[in-house]
A and B are shown apart, each in its own frame.
Chain A
Amino acid sequence: MPKPGRILKWLGLVAFFLWTVTPIVFMISASFKGTGDIFKLPPTGDWPGILKLLFWFDASLVQFKSIFEEGTFFSHLLTSILATGLSVIISVPVGLAAAYALSRANIPGKKHLYFWVITTRMAPPIAVMIPLYVLWRGIGALHTLPGLVLAYITFNLPFAIWLLRGFMDSIPRELEEAAYVDGKGRLGAFLEIIFPLIRPGVGATVILCSMFAWNDYLFALILGGRGAKTLPVGIGELASATQIHWGQIMAGGLVMIVPMVVLGLAIRKSLVTGLTMGAMRG
């Protein structure tokens, strides 16, 4: 590559690096500041002051202390963990069984079944929520944890089926046939042959399903409501018309995103496959 091209390339990469990282660095530094310091900006044009604001400030744990001391944070955290965990615990095993059937059996109308599954996944949450709201209200599941878990299954189960089926298709059938010769039943062959082979795929599915449920805001806001308030809704409420608790929002947000960033980077190889619903397996 000629030299000016190289310089241009690195300029582009540095610019995008700054564009990506600045908000995150800002968020981290704001979480570790006292409430008064968050609102201090250097005078217009004072660039070194900006660097000081981002990297060289009086660190304080006051924001974290204040969110942890407030009892509601833990109850929101617990709701988030339960709603995420339960929806994954139901979606992934049920999805595994369905994915295995879809991968191995000649089912009449399989194409239509696929299509139903994938459209369920692609449906806009706000439209899905309207009938769910009325129905949940009718059966008393509105603003309860089970109601919220069921709502999360509407997107996590189709996703699990779709993704796991892709992982299963990549395992040759001959392996199971050998197990049948050994006199094992279908369940035995599945548990002893298939499951160990797709374990990484199952792991990626669990993490991605957890991310979708954990980061959800709209379902929790409308269907979870007062009775099942998750962390995103709790953080959303820190900004009211009268007062915005920026420090707590930044610190709470940081607590919320750190586990997902760690998990996401841990499965970064499968992440693309997962987020593209298996369309990118190659």
Chain B
Amino acid sequence: MAQQGYATAEFISDGTPATRPLSLYRRIGENTPWYVWWLAPAVIILAGITLFPFFWMIYMSFMKVRLAPGMSDLFVGWENWALMFEDPSIYQGWWLQFQYVGASMVLQMGLGLGLALMLNNTRGGSVLVMIFMIPMMVAPVVVGHLFNLLLNSSYGLYAWFLNTLGLYSKGSLLSNPDTALWTIMAMDTWEWTPLIILILLAGLKSVPQDTVEAAHVDGSNPFQVFINVTLPYLAPSLLIAFLLRFMDCMRFIDKILITTRGGPAEATKTLPIYLYFKTFREFNIGMGATIGFTLLVAIIVCALIATNILLKEKGGEQHA
């Protein structure tokens, strides 16, 4: 404010006749940096639909939210928070979420790295890559239903495969508490390993071929070449692939909601799924806001770390 007032005074003393005071509109117009007008629509929209709801969520975590007409919210203090910390399902939900995200990441990164190395410099590789990309574009709802059908114990193709190969014949993998979470991980792996392959293939292009060949001539075995030559060049891409998949894996629950809905016997009730049922099935919205807030904060912390690493990585590339 003070700065603007000063600028206005300077502008007037700069030759504009002091006898004719500027209209408020012009004064604001002249003194506002140009970028404000360009940014304003985005900032106003985003503030309205993200920042305001965020603070509203914090407010609701201290309330008993009553949606019935004519009822107003009741202030309950820290009650929701206390209940959340006492609820064993919350800890179970975080633990399942940790298992789901952790194992998915190991699976997808390992598979993605292996395939990127196989595809690199392979004749016909680009056609294969195009085919491999297709699962990423399939809507999660369709992925969920498709695997539901494939695994169906009486007419699913994959159930038939498992049965014929003698691997598994106890109904659908999705309806067994011991295998359900792993099956959903496999579905996510089917859908998203291609993204890791694409990122790593782009990264492999930065590995200088003559260095690789020189290492081969020196008698290094392929494993040594990979560790000593390829890996250092590939490290930034590995990091990006990991961070992006990690963030998405934490966020999305569509496939679980379509296939198991947290079951069987709560075996797939990860924290976001628990949150869904608490909020939109039990309509305990105050509690939902409390859990949602903790989930959001956990993800914001991850995002803070991820963006800092990514921006540093990107800045480094630009200077190089």
Contacts and interface: CB of A to CB of B under 8 A. Distances in A.
Interface stretch (B20-28, B30-38, B80-88): B30-38
B49 interface: yes
B37 to A, nearest CB: 8
Given A127-B293, A130-B57, A40 B155 contact: yes
B43 interface: yes
B310 A279 contact: yes
Given A131-B56, A239-B145, A239-B148, A279 B244 contact: yes
Nearest to B317: A282
A154 B202 CA distance: 30
A24 B134 contact: yes
A232 B139 contact: yes
A97 B314 CA distance: 23
Nearest to B275: A126
Contacts of A120: 46, 50
Contacts of B138: 24, 253, 257, 260-261
B207 interface: no
A41 B57 contact: no
A279 B314 contact: yes
Indicate the member of A21, A250, A279 with the most B CB atoms within 10 Å. A279
Contacts, number: 265
Chain B contact residues, majority secondary structure: helix
A232 B141 contact: yes
Contacts of B13: none
B307 A39 contact: no
A218 B42 contact: no
Given A13-B118, A23-B146, A215 B67 contact: no
Nearest to A54: B157
Contact of A131 (B247, B275, B289): B289
B205 to A, nearest CB: 8
A123 interface: yes
A120 B306 CA distance: 14
A21 B130 CA distance: 12
Indicate the member of A97, A131, A265 with the most B CB atoms within 10 Å. A131
Interface string B163-204: 110000000000000000000000000100011001100100
Contact of B65 (A134, A236, A246): A134
Given A94-B42, A257-B142, A118 B307 contact: yes
Given A20-B190, A217-B258, A26 B157 contact: yes
A261 B137 CA distance: 6
A105 B32 CA distance: 13
B267 interface: no
Interface residues of B, number: 96
A124 to B, nearest CB: 4
A244 B92 CA distance: 31
B299 interface: yes
B109 interface: no
Interface in A110-155: 113-120, 122-128, 130-135, 137, 150-151, 153-154
A201 interface: no
A271 interface: yes
Chain A contact residues, majority secondary structure: helix
A222 B280 contact: yes
Interface string B200-237: 00100010000000000000001000000000000001
B147 A122 contact: no
Interface in B300-316: 300, 302-304, 306-307, 310, 313-314
Interface residues of A, number: 97
B303 A20 contact: no
A78 interface: no
Contacts of B90: none
Closest 8 CB pairs of A and B: A98-B42, A131-B53, A105-B35, A101-B38, A253-B142, A127-B292, A101-B35, A215-B139
Interface of B: 33-35, 38-39, 41-43, 45-46, 49-54, 56-57, 60, 65, 67, 111, 114-115, 118-119, 122, 128, 130-142, 145-150, 154-155, 157, 160, 163-164, 190, 194-195, 198-199, 202, 206, 222, 237, 240-241, 244, 247, 250-254, 257-258, 272, 275-276, 279-280, 285, 288-289, 292-293, 295-296, 299-300, 302-304, 306-307, 310, 313-314, 317
Given A41-B160, A127-B272, A280-B240, 17 more contacts: A19-B190, A38-B155, A94-B41, A104-B35, A127-B57, A128-B53, A131-B57, A134-B56, A135-B52, A153-B49, A186-B34, A215-B139, A215-B141, A217-B141, A236-B145, A257-B142, A268-B130
18 contacts: A12-B114, A19-B190, A22-B157, A101-B38, A105-B38, A107-B35, A122-B302, A128-B53, A133-B280, A218-B257, A239-B148, A253-B138, A253-B139, A271-B198, A275-B244, A276-B240, A279-B240, A282-B202
Interface of A: 1, 5, 9, 12-13, 16-17, 19-24, 26-27, 30, 38-42, 44-45, 47, 50, 53, 90, 94-95, 97-98, 100-102, 104-105, 107, 113-120, 122-128, 130-135, 137, 150-151, 153-154, 157-158, 161, 186, 211, 214-215, 217-218, 222, 232, 235-236, 239, 246, 249-250, 253, 256-257, 260-261, 264-265, 268, 271-272, 275-277, 279-282
